[in-house]
Amino acid sequence: MTLEDFKTRAYVKGEKKSTRTTCTYCGVGCQLYLNTRKDRIVEVVGVPDVGPNYGSLCVKGRFGYDFVHDPERLKMPLIRENGKLREATWDEALNVVAGKLKSLKEAHGADAIGVLSSARTTNEENYLAQKFTRAVIGTNNIDHCARL
């Protein structure tokens, strides 16, 4: 967002696009509109009369979107080979992770592995993380940053 966007908020008719979505900062599920201009987010507003937030947004939900346009943002998986990172496909990266988890489990047992989850994912995603940790890996070593 440029200073001009912030100061004026004036848009040519049809230039601003509003897209309804769910906030990604935590698992609450707040509804919001991402207002974009020229494929850049210029404003975020809550959806009135719709739960769970009824138009209200926390400071992260309303103002925490600059990272989307950061030129250093990772947009694809990276795999370290011979001390250097290289871009990879999702399938390739997931296969590397699965292989390393399997070899760790075989060499040191399931309790040598731990999983950390995040408050920025949905309750359903956190449920899947703990189910994967307990049922697939075979350990209870799972924690969550919102527990503290």
The DSSP annotation for 5-65 comes to: HHHH----TTTEEEEEEE--SSSS--EEEEEEETTEEEEEEE-TT-TTTTT---HHHHH--
Looking at the structure of the chain, the number of domains it has is: 3
Q: What's 100's DSSP letter? A: H
Task: Say if residues 105 and 115 touch (Cβ distance below 8 Å).
Answer: no
Same domain, 65 and 85: no
Same domain, 49 and 95: no
Same domain, 128 and 99: no
37-72 pLDDT tens trace: 888 898 999 999 999 999 999 998 999 888 888 999
Same domain, 115 and 100: no
Domain that holds residue 53: 3-69
Q: How confident is the model at residue 7 (pLDDT cuts 50, 70, 90)?
A: low
Same domain, 41 and 8: yes
